[in-house]
């Protein structure tokens, strides 16, 4: 089964329109035009994208923006989820992919009492690496966060 990447991303992002609307956050999606079909475990990668989007929106204040980009590289497909949110402190950054790690545990969580388990990024890393891909994070406190992951595009290699 092959999935059109544009439809696929669009459908996943739509799941967050309610949450984003509540905070007046706009989500900008850009998928490489030259990229049509990609081959990976669609359900598992949806789980990765879902967690990254959930994290991005939950850690971003009202009226800011979230960007989702999918670009084709040599032999990879590269996904990035960028937010203009609170960011992650340098001392927390090396640990965010560890199970149960929560960078903001000392902060008051104000998202309707909704507090995650701290497993999302550990699971995301596992899924990406099971695809022979890699995931990384760049962040600056008070400015925002970018999660990047790459998957080999087996269809074209
Ligand atoms: P779960 O995903 O299991 O529901 P969670 O979202 O707390 O729970 P992770 O997705 O693993 O767990 O994220 C770990 C921690 O990293 C978060 O608790 C948060 O402190 C920090 N974090 C993750 N993404 C962002 C982001 N985009 N901006 C700021 N902090 C983030
Ligand atoms: Mg999460």
Segments of the chain scoring below 50 in pLDDT: 108-110, 112-113, 156-157
- So what's the pLDDT on residue 155? 60
Kindly give the distance from the C-alpha atom of residue 14 to the centroid of ligand 2, in angstroms, as a whole number: 17
- So what's the pLDDT on residue 42? 95
Whether 32 is in the pocket of ligand 1, judged by its Cβ within 6 Å, is no
Going by C-alpha positions, the residue among 47, 58, 65 that lies closest to residue 149 is 47
pTM score:
0.93
- So what's the pLDDT on residue 131? 96
Please state the atom number of ligand 1 nearest to the C-alpha of residue 85.
28
β-pairing, 134-140 vs 144-152, is antiparallel
Going by C-alpha positions, the residue among 135, 140, 137, 139 that lies closest to residue 151 is 135
**β-pair partners for 78:** 71, 150
Mean pLDDT of the chain: 91
Residue-wise pLDDT tens digits, 27-69: 999 999 988 888 899 999 999 999 999 999 999 999 999 999 9
Whether 56 is in the pocket of ligand 1, judged by its Cβ within 6 Å, is yes
- So what's the pLDDT on residue 105? 63
> Which residue do the tokens 């994290």 mark?
55
> Which residue do the tokens 């995301």 mark?
124
- So what's the pLDDT on residue 156? 47
Pocket of ligand 1, candidates 115, 116, 124, 144: which has the most ligand atoms within 8 Å of its Cβ, to mutate? 116
* Atom 10 of ligand 1, nearest CA residue: 120
Whether 83 is in the pocket of ligand 1, judged by its Cβ within 6 Å, is yes
Whether 85 is in the pocket of ligand 1, judged by its Cβ within 6 Å, is yes
């Amino acid at each position: 089964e092959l999935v059109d990447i544009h439809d696929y991303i669009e459908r996943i992002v739509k799941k967050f329109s309610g949450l984003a609307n509540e905070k007046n956050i706009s989500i900008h999606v850009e998928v490489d035009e030259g990229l049509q079909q990609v081959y990976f475990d669609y359900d598992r990668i949806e789980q990765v994208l879902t967690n990254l989007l959930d994290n991005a929106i939950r850690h971003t204040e009202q009226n800011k923006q979230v960007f989702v980009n999918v670009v084709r590289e040599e032999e990879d497909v590269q996904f990035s989820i960028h937010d203009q949110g609170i960011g992650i402190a340098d001392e927390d950054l090396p640990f965010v992919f560890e199970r149960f790690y929560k960078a903001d545990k000392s902060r008051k969580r104000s998202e309707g009492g909704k507090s995650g388990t701290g497993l999302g990024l550990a699971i995301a890393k596992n899924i990406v690496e099971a695809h022979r891909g890699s995931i990384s994070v760049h962040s600056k406190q008070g400015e925002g966060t970018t999660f990047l992951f790459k998957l080999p595009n087996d269809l074209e290699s």
